[in-house]
Each structure stands twice: as C-alpha cells, then as structure tokens.
Structure 1
Amino acid sequence: MVELDSELKIPVSAVAEVLYCPRNFYYRVVEGAEDTNAHVLQGKLEEERRNSRKSLSRTDYRQSRGLFLTSDYLPLTGVVDVVEEKDDQIYPVEYKKGQLKDNRNDDVQLCCQALLLEEHLGRDIPYGYVYYASSHQRRQVYFSQELRELTLATIREAQTIIRMGTVPEPLGDQRCQGCSLAARCLPEETKFLQGSGETPVRPLPAINLGRTLYVDTPGAYLRKRQERLLVTKDNDIVKEVPLCSIEQVIIVGTANMSTQLTRLFLEKGIQVFYFSGSRGILGWLNPAWGKNVPLRLAQYRACHDEALCLELAKTMIKGKISNMRTFLLRYNRARPDSSLEEAAGQLEKLAGKTGTVQGKDSLRGIEGAASRAYFQVFGRLLGEKVSFDFKRRNRRPPKDPVNALLSFGYSLLVKEAVAVCQSVGLDPYLGFFHSMVYGRPALALDLVEEFRTIIVDSVVTTCLNKGIINPEHFEERLGGCFLNEAGRKRFFSAYQGRMNEEVTHPIFTYRLPYRRTMELQGRFLAKVLQGELPAYKPFLVR
C-alpha cells in the first residue's frame, strides 16, 4: 500500500472530486483551474451568505463557521463549513446546494473534515451532517471504519494523480453535463480524437463569448460607477455598459481608464489590449499568470524537441496553405478566373510538400512561396467597383489601403490568439514555427496562421467589395497608409461579426463561431503537448 505523504497537502474540498471525476480533480488541483458556471457561482453565493456570520448561538446548540484547519499527520488542509456543538457532541456540517440524496462523494468530503477536527480537538467525531440547500434538509453520516478507509484510499489516489502528473482519461458520460470544466476538458472531442468515442453531437459553450468593448475615441476616459462601466469625454458620458457584459477591452490611441477600473478588470480576469492606430498591438493588461505549470513545462520541453517542433510547424503551415487555396477557389466559383485557378493549383502542390521537409528553414521557404502565389492574385478578389489596387503585400508601415486593412486585421487576430494562449495556460511567446525573437508572441503567431485567410482576408474583401470601407476612411502619414478612427470602427465591427459567425467544424461536424474554433485549436494543442492526443490537426475550411 502506498504510504500517505503528509507534506503533499490536498484541499478537503478537492478530495471527493477523485471519486466523482479524477480528471476534474487533476484540472483543479494540479493545473489550478478556476473555471466557473452558474452552479459554481450559486454555491459560492450561498457560502458567502453563510460566512457573513462567523458564529451563531441558540439555546440548544452553537455553530462556528469557516474553520480553517491543516493536519500535521495527514495530507489534508481546508475549511470546515460549519462546526456544531450540541449535547456535548461536536460534529461537522457540510453544505451542498442540491436536493437531499445519498452521495458517497459528499460522505468522503465530510469524513475529511472529521479527520481534521479529531486531530485539532483531540477527540473522536462519530458522525456529521450534510445539509442540502434545495431541500432544506440534512442527512446524518456516520464515520464508520469502512468510510474512513475509503477516505484514506481516496487521498492516496489523489496523491498518486498529483505525483504522476498525467491527465486522467475523460469520462464523456452524464457527469460531464453541467460541469464548469467541460469547455476546458472537451471530453467528447478528446475521446473522439483518441479513437475511442463517437462524434460529438453538440459544441460546448465558449469560455470567451466575444463580448468586447472597443474604445477608439481620442481623450476618452473609462471609469466604474457601481456595476457599470462609463466611457466619458470632457465629463460627458459617451457610452455606458454593464460590467457583466464585458469579457475583453480594446483601447486604441489616447484613451485611458481609472485605477479603480484597472483593479476591477484584474480581479475579474478581463483582459485589456492596447493598440496604436499605426503600429498595431502595443501590449496588454493581463490578470495574474495562469496556474497551469505542468502545461507550460510541457510546452518548454516541446520547444527543445526539434522533431516535435517541426511536426507541429508542418501541420500549422499546411493548414494555412490549404485554407488559402480554399479561399481562392470559393471566389473562383463565383467569378471564374484562370489566374485564381492556377494559383490554387500551386498552393495545392506546396501544401503537399510540407509533409516531406526536413527542417524549419525549408518549411519557411514553402510558406513564403505560398504567400507570394496567394498575394499575387489577391487583387483579383476585389470587385470592379473597388477604387483600390493591390499589387503586393507590404507592411511596417503599409503603403496602401488594402495593406493597411490586412495589417490592422492581422493585429486584431494576434490579439485573439494571445487571449487564447492565456486562457488555455500556454506561453504566447514560446512558439514552434515562428522564431522566438525578443518581444514577439511566437506561439500566438503560430496559432494565427490557420485563420489569417478565412477571417481577416475574408473581412477585408467583404469590406471593400460591399463598400463598407471607402477612401475617406484612410489617412497617410510618416510614409504609410492607415485607417482613421471612423475606418477602424467600421472594420472592427465587420471583424467582430466574422469572429462570431458560425462555421461547421471539419472534424466534429457541429456548428460553432470562429472565435470558439480558435480556442479549441489552442486547447487541442495543449492536449498534444501533454500527451493526451497523438497529433495536432489544423482547422481546415471546406
């Protein structure tokens, strides 16, 4: 029998998760996942109401609440919800939000609390209670020898999971319904990609729903008033938004915000990205760095594995070139053009060559050739009524309106990829294809490759062909061409529409927004790095 390591402390609240779902336990304890949903929030609110009073006395009993204990002999630490004293008996009470039921997981969690109390008080605790808020009833639990042995065995299993550092297999059953970690775990998708499950029938909800506040008003000031965000200028309210409806903020130019609001964004995990009208993304205000150390270690190890780096890079670039080809063929069907068809043929050949390259330098050569073939005909995607001409790709700074749109759009897309990396727990600066130059988010740039054409290039051609963006939306300065404030707002609106547009997933066949597909790619990459999935598959449009 494996001995318990008293130094490797486990939260009391997490022990029972081992019985219910070992994978859930791993995510919360090893990777530090804190994902929430309505069920978790309701439980926290009920706990806050209980803890508003630290103690409660009645004529026949006394309650003490929120007692934090750590064992010197067992690997246990945590908070005992409620300790009651009645008729010279002391016993723990665990609160649950659901209906009254017999539940071995609840019994084990309560028994952990009893073990802590017995050590702390130096006396036996024969029983305790689990109170179910929805039923307003409590169930008595006797701490039998069998339950105590099960509790210790569960603690041993928990320590084994921590020591091994391997993500347990997904369950993919009814227990996954309503789980706050489902969008991170992806149980059905993971089992399908492992070859042991059926095709998922529905997409899991996105963690990021795309609720982005875009501020591009010179001199604007963001501040908080109660539970609302105010955008003001010269003391006049320009916009008022409920804080609960914001997941991300983009600030362009000279807009600023209050210290109080900055602190609130950090507490709520809301990312703030800063853009320059001419230089693209400047940086971001990010909440505390993710706790998923095992994933980052796996990413760092992978970056030192040249063979794995090359395989990941080859897959990503093949995905990019394939999506370029599909994009050209779509336009060619609507407006047949031999040049588009010829370029698509070149891209097909180049995509095939990615599988045989022996190094990243050769792969970069193929990617460069594909980009040249693609952009040589990109101008033919613009309608006859478009007053702009496109001859070649240029940047830093862009010299013409079409390149200005492409550069601004790619900056927005890199922002999305950075957000995905931070949500998943990956280091956005440590990539597999793009070189790790100081200050360059290489992994974000890697993830962007599959989506450049199908998101940004699609938005650019749509904005120009439909007259959403016109000559008056650009300005020339310092030898470059840039979108002005009105142009940026129009483009951002079209970009958000594309990100929220649903597409049929090429592998799982369900429909979901492009924004969610980027997050899925980030999570699948993480599962490849941690050995859960055998290979990374690019997102390919049809």
Structure 2
Amino acid sequence: MEYKEDEYLMISGIQHFQFCRRQWALIHIEQQWAENVHTVVGELMHKKAHDPYLIENRKDILITRSLPVSSRVLGVSGECDVVEFHKSEIGVRLYGHRGLYRIYPIEYKKGEPKISDEDILQLAAQVMCLEEMFSTVIQEAAIFYGETRRREVVEITDDLKNKVRDMFREMHQYYDRQYTPKVKWSKSCNGCSLKDICLPKLGKTMSVKKYVKLALEDDE
C-alpha cells in the first residue's frame, strides 16, 4: 500500500506518539500546541542546525541541512536536520557530483540521550525515507545531543524499522478516525508542554477541542 501526498503525516510526530499517543493526537489531530522551556530550547537548537541554502563540501564529505524527505510507503514527510554524503566505493550517485556516496543522516536534539527510544524512532523514520528516495540501504545514522556535545551512533536494524512501520500504521488509523486516545496521568506528564490543556480526566467523555468549544459558549 502507498499513500497519497495529502495523506502524509509528519515524521517528527513519531516522537510525540511514542512519548504519549494522546499528546500526538492533541498536536496533530486537534491542532493543540503550547510552548515550554523544552520546546523553545529545542527549536533554537534546530535553527542552528538548519540552513536550507547551505551545502558544505569538506574533502570527501558533502553536508546538506534541512533536507526534505518523504515516503509513499510510510505515508510521511519532513526534514532531516543534517545529512552527510560520504564519498565511497559503494553508494549512490548524486546529481552534479562525481563518484558514489554513502548516506549518513544526523538528527539534532537538546539535552542528553534518553532512556526511551522516541529520538531513535524518529531517526529511523528519516533513514527509511532516504532509503526509499535513493534506492539504497542505510545501516547507521547518528543523533547529536546538545548536552553532551557529541554524536550517538544508532544502528538501523530490521526490528527498528518494523517498529516504525507499525507505529505509523497505527498513527494513520487514528488520524483517519480523528481519534484522540485516552491516557492516565503519570510523572512524565509534568514535562509535557500540553499538560495544562491535556485534561486526561475529560478524555472519558469528550475531546479537548469539544471542551474548549463548550467553555467558550458558556462565556458568551
């Protein structure tokens, strides 16, 4: 099965979905959003990594930033923070450049490596898009963390790819139904930018969008 472009979901949504399915639905289905210190710092870090007009050439390495990627199979689109193309005897051909190149994507994140794997899943999704676009196989990628100031190498395994496929399939099902999952309050909610509008107790009876609409009607 392949998706049409108007059915594509955001690649970055997989990290929200892994962290909390309700958070993902609030952002991507109900269009709710709120800034906190974590989202602001993360946005500033990505601005430093992104420059869509910049292509660096360092000896045998080409470096592109803010590279648009997509996948018809996964039904997703987005951008890679940084993609390095390393000159190699085995690789892909690039328009305007001689030789073959090995593709090495790098995702930029604030903080330090997480115990959970939402960052890894997002990186794997980007890899799968690049593999589809360039008809190649990418076995390794990396995440650069602002706190440690170094790259964490990530092996792109079949098990990881299968998890990404399963998660996007579930996300498409929720999005098609416009369904916002219910959740129970946990300690992880304290660091969520949507904690003040999530209202998980209301999830049993209505969506946040409906709650806000009713609240506005009562004020009139």
Where do residues 390-539 of structure 1 align in structure 2 (5 Å cutoff)? 424=212, 426=213, 444=216, 446-447=218-219
Q: CA deviation at 1:33?
A: 2.1
Task: Spell out, residue by residue over 1:102-157, the C-alpha distance to the aligned partner (whole angstroms, 9 max, x if none).
Answer: 54211111111011111111211111101111111111111111111111001111
So what's the TM-score if we normalise by structure 2? 0.81
Q: How does 1:296-445 map to 2 (within 5 A)?
A: 424=212, 426=213, 444=216
Question: Counterpart of 2:95?
Answer: none
The structural deviation recorded for 1:444 is: 4.3
What SS does the corresponding residue of 2:16 show, helix, strand or coil? helix
Q: Which residue matches 1:22?
A: 21
- Contact (CA 8 Å) 1:81, 1:95: kept in 2 or not? yes
**Amino acid across the alignment from 1:62:** L
**Matching residue's letter, 1:90:** I
Partner of 1:38: 37
Post-superposition Cα deviations, 1:370-392, rounded to whole Å, max 9, x if no partner, equal xxxxxxxxxxxxxxxxxxxxxxx
Partners of 2:46 and 2:115 lie apart in 1 by 21
Q: How does 1:88-99 map to 2 (within 5 A)?
A: 88=88, 89-99=102-112
Give the corresponding residue for 1:452.
Answer: none
| Alignment match of 1:6 (pick from 3, 8, 20) | 3
Query: Residue 163 of structure 1: CA displacement?
Result: 2.3
Q: Are 1:149 and 2:162 an aligned pair?
A: yes
Q: Which runs of 5+ in 1 are unaligned?
A: 195-293, 300-423, 432-442, 449-542
Q: Aligned-pair distance for 1:170?
A: 2.2
2:191 aligns to what SS in structure 1?
A: coil
Please tell me the residue identity of whatever aligns with 1:447: D
Q: Partner residue of 1:169?
A: 182
Amino acid in the other structure paired with 1:6: Y
Contact kept, 8 Å, 1:100 with 1:138, in 2: the verdict is no
Shift of residue 445 of structure 1? 5.9
Which residue in 2 is equivalent to 1:115? Answer: 128
Higher strand share: 2
**Cα distance between partner residues in 2 of 1:186 and 1:444:** 16
> How many angstroms does 1:60 deviate by?
5.0
SS in 1 for 2:113: coil
Which residue of structure 1 lines up, in the alignment, with residue 97 of structure 2?
A: none
3-state SS of paired residue (2:81) = strand
Distance 1:121 1:445 in 2: 52
Q: 1:139 maps to which residue? A: 152
Q: Secondary structure at the match of 1:129?
A: strand
CA distance in 2 between partners of 1:153 and 1:444 (Å) = 38
Q: Is the 8 A contact 1:21 1:171 kept in 2?
A: no
| Alignment correspondent of 2:69 | 69
Aligned with 1:135: secondary structure?
A: coil
Which whole-Å CA distance do the structure 2 matches of 1:37 and 1:139 have between them? 26
Query: Do 2:49 and 2:108's aligned partners in 1 also have CA atoms closer than 8 Å?
Result: no
In the TM superposition, residue 295 of structure 1 has moved relative to its aligned partner by: 7.0
Structure 2 Cα separation of the partners of residues 91 and 171 of structure 1: 39
Q: The residue matched to 1:57 in structure 2 has which SS?
A: strand
- Report matched runs for 1:185-264 at 5 Å: 185-187=198-200, 190=201
Q: Please report the RMSD computed on the Cα atoms of aligned residues, expressed in angstroms.
A: 2.6
After TM superposition, give the deviation of residue 74 of structure 1 in Å: 2.7
- Does the residue aligned with 1:41 lie in a helix, a strand or coil? helix
| Conserved? CA contact 1:18–1:157, under 8 Å | no
> What's the secondary structure of 1:106's corresponding residue?
helix
Q: How many residues align?
A: 203
CA distance in 1, matches of 2:208, 2:194: 16
Distance (Å, rounded) in 1 between the aligned partners of 2:216 and 2:119: 42
Q: Please give the secondary structure, in 2, of the residue aligned with 1:95.
A: strand
* Distance change in 2, residues 1:444/1:106 (3 Å): closer
The structure with the largest helix share of the pair is: 1
Partners of 1:158 and 1:445 in 2: CA distance? 31
Q: Is 1:57 the counterpart of 2:57 in the alignment?
A: yes
What SS class does the counterpart of residue 59 from structure 2 fall into?
coil
Q: Mind listing any 5+ residue stretches in structure 2 that lack a counterpart?
A: 89-101
State the structure with bigger RCO (CA 8 A, min sep 6), 1 or 2: 2
Divergent runs of 4+, >3 A: none
Report the TM-score, using the length of structure 1 for normalisation.
0.35
In structure 1, the partner of 2:99 is none
Kindly, what percent of the aligned residue pairs are identical? 26
